[in-house]
Amino acid sequence: MNGLSRFVRSFVPGLLTLLAAACTHTGMQYGDAQASGVAIATQTCSACHGVTGQSVSPLFPQLAGQQKEYLVAQLGDFKAHSRADERGTEYMWGFTRLTPRQIDELADYFSTQTPMHGPSPAPAPDLRGQAIFAQGLPELGVPACSACHGAQGLGQGSFPRLAGQHADYVMQQIRVFQLTDTRPRGAAMKQVTHALSEADTAAVARYIAALSATP
Amino acid sequence: MKPTPLHPPLRVGHGGTWRCICRIGARWGSRIVCVLAALAAMQAAQAVPSFARQTGQSCVACHAGGQFPELTPYGRLFKLTGYTQGERGNPLAGMVVASMTRTRNNSDGAGGGISPFNNQAVLDFGSLFLAGKIGDKLGGFAQFTSVVHDHQDGDGHWQSHFGSDNFDLRYADRKINAEDDLIWGVTLNNNPSVQDVWNSSPAWGYPYLSSSLGAFGAVPVATLIEGGLAQQVAGVGAYVYWNRALYAEWSSYQTAKGLGSLLSLGNQPGDANHPLSSLDGSGQYWRLAYTREWAAHNAMLGAFGLDAKVFPLDANFSTINKLGSTRYQDLGLDAQYQYLLAPHTVTTFVRLVRERISDATGLAYTGAASLHSLKAKGSYVYQARYGVSLAYTRVNGSADAMAYASAANSPNTVMWTPEIFWMPLQSLRIGLQYNRFTRYLGAANNYDGSGRHASDNDTAFLYAWWAF
């Protein structure tokens, strides 16, 4: 038999060895209760959210520098299927086996990354968005975002950081709060957003996305 | 007495199919035999609910706009890391396809029809998948397909056929941190480019389904890499994907017999309907790609190649290995672009393959030959539910009296394929596809010398495709 044939035949024992080795858990993957949060973050979450929590596509929220308490709550809600917005169910409902330790470590990993930021150089701030963010729309009963999310949109505790988040993601979530009841933990946001028009939603989302970008 | 060798039926097709194209004679009789023999050609559809169960994610997470098998960037990573994301579970999945084909002019000029079951609803095929995670670094995708109306026996009864379809077993690892991201892996598979993750590649290129019972479900000629070796070979390869930017791969293929015969299950030497072609030595395949993602966009620019020599088959569909072989040298360039931001999905690709053919046997081509195959496709899907696409296929190459049975002895064919489709469930796709030929084997009009026009081959294909 020729050399290549010999190689292929010798590949089979190698393959069987590989098979035996590969069937064991490596502690690197989601689903393994021993896996660390860092391993899950880099091997799994990074695919959509980026290895440092800075996601490329606006389909997936930035996680970099997000409030730890908020991340723990959202992961718990995805795990329990109590957060049921459409995109969330499509991508995040599989994570039902995260242990409390893993959730804590994941939240720790992302919350301590260099915080999320919009594209640099920052565009000129959307003035309408800025006004809504800082003062709300009192005539419509829309409170200022800054009242809970902070003057710079950095968030606090269970109120998420907004500064630097993808504009499209912010718009999506405002619509989710406005039109659905799929995020019960954020029920307060329904009242906040109910009077926001499409144009105002876009304006405040643009402003938020540009917050904390380097000028 | 040495058997009189027949010109070998050349396997062309794409995505786990093969289509027997007889390149001898121009008679309708042999043509019909060839066409009927080609009924085993089915477009291997690729949608794997066992992956969805493994990851707990919706089909749209991996499949652009829900258009299985088109992959999103996440879907590509899922495959490149060995199908190992998520939790190991039940790897079984299945799918069935039913359809109705209408050939515009189904008369063979002698009182018979060309495409069987024309205008009739039929069950095309069913597939069984064994796919998913085996270990943290090992996973695979094995598809086996049963074609309901594969060929007719001597009494005219339709026989079904079961065999191996797409197969890809891989071991992969990833080293990733804030500075670097390196995925590397090895693959064992049965079709050059089935291991690929871009939908510009031949094994996973559009259309994902086409009429298998219609005689004109695809162009009649294609380069070898466009399915000619599918389920005929077993290959081992290694790849790397660095920083989600640079991909490089090299794979080596041999005839899938002996230990590799699971990969060619259903195809065997001497089988008139499903012969097993043999490679002369090993075939080499390589692939390079550069990718970029920005905002909701992602794009790829790539190149690939295949160099393989195929032995001819005799009248009994067994390999003749004493007369030399036909060498196919394929060089491809491809590009892909996607825009993915719900509710909109836009996916496009273009692929150009240049093939040089050197036939040492003197049985397939009269001399040195060339073949060029260009394919382009664009799709738009709304809410991962309502879609429309348009594809363009053009084949042209050197004329050859031995290879191409038409008045001009030419492979030159141009086909437009518009399609509309609806996915009422993420696992169910219903579509209407139309193949419009503006040129067929060298001419728009009277391409066969008996008055048949390219447009006579126009084919409407209505299908329902359900994965579970």
How far, in whole angstroms, is CA B303 from its chain's centroid?
A: 18
A84 in reach of chain B (CB within 8 A): no
Predicted local distance difference test score (pLDDT) of residue B83: 96
Work out the pLDDT band at A213, boundaries 50, 70, 90: low
pLDDT at A138: 95
Establish if A130 touches chain B: CB-CB under 8 angstroms: no
CA angle B388, B390, B391 (to 5 degrees): 145
Chain A closest-CA separation from residue B25 CA (Å): 38
Contact list in B for residue A175 (CB cut-off 8 A) is none
Tell me the residue length of chain A. Answer: 215
Q: How far apart are CA B369 and CA B397, in angstroms?
A: 7
pTM of the model: 0.89
Contact B341 A58 (CB under 8 A): yes
Average pLDDT, chain A: 89
Residue B466 distance to chain A (closest CA, Å): 19
* Cβ distance of A47 and B134 shorter than 8 Å: no
To the nearest 10°, report the CA torsion of B40, B45, B50, B55.
160
Q: A28 pLDDT band (50/70/90 cuts)?
A: low
Cβ within 8 Å, pair B85-A47: yes
Class of domain A127-210: mainly alpha
Summarised one tens digit per residue, pLDDT across range A136-179 is 999 999 999 999 999 999 999 999 999 999 999 999 999 999 99
Higher pLDDT, A119 or B465: B465
pLDDT grade, residue A6 (50/70/90)? very low
Q: Which CATH superfamily is domain A37-111 in?
A: Cytochrome c-like domain (1.10.760.10)
**Partner-chain contact A22 B296, CB within 8 Å:** no
Instruction: Give the residue from chain A lying closest to B74, CA to CA.
Output: A47
Q: Quickly state the pLDDT bin for A122 (edges 50, 70, 90).
A: confident
| Residue A31 pLDDT class (50, 70, 90 cuts) | confident
Residue ranges, comma separated, of all CATH 1.10.760.10 domains in chain A are: 37-111, 127-210
Given CB atoms, is B236 within the 8 Å cutoff of chain A? yes
The pLDDT confidence band at residue A118, using thresholds 50, 70 and 90, is confident
Residues of B in contact with A47 (CB under 8 A): 73-74, 77-78, 85
Contact A107, A204 (CB under 8 A): no
Which is higher by pLDDT, A8 or B341?
A: B341
Residue of B nearest to A90 (CA): B58
CB contact residues (below 8 A), chain B span 50-89, against chain A: 55-58, 60-61, 73-74, 77-78, 81, 84-88
A18-22, A65-69, B223-227, B314-318: segment of lowest average pLDDT: A18-22
Which of A18, A59, A96 is closest, CB to CB, to B296?
A59
| Full DSSP string of A11-37 | HHHHHHHHHHHHTS--S-STT-TT--H
In the stretch 13-72 of chain A, residues with CB closer than 8 A to chain B read 15, 18-19, 21-26, 28-32, 42-44, 46-48, 51-52, 56-59
pLDDT, block means (10 residues), chain B with 468 residues: 30 31 32 36 55 93 95 98 93 96 94 94 96 95 96 95 97 96 98 98 94 93 97 97 98 93 94 95 98 98 98 95 96 98 97 98 94 98 98 98 95 98 96 98 96 97 97
pLDDT value at A85 more than 90: yes
Helices (H), B330-435: none
Separation in Å, CA of B135 to nearest CA in chain A: 4
Contact A30 B236 (CB under 8 A): no
CA distance B79 to B132: 10
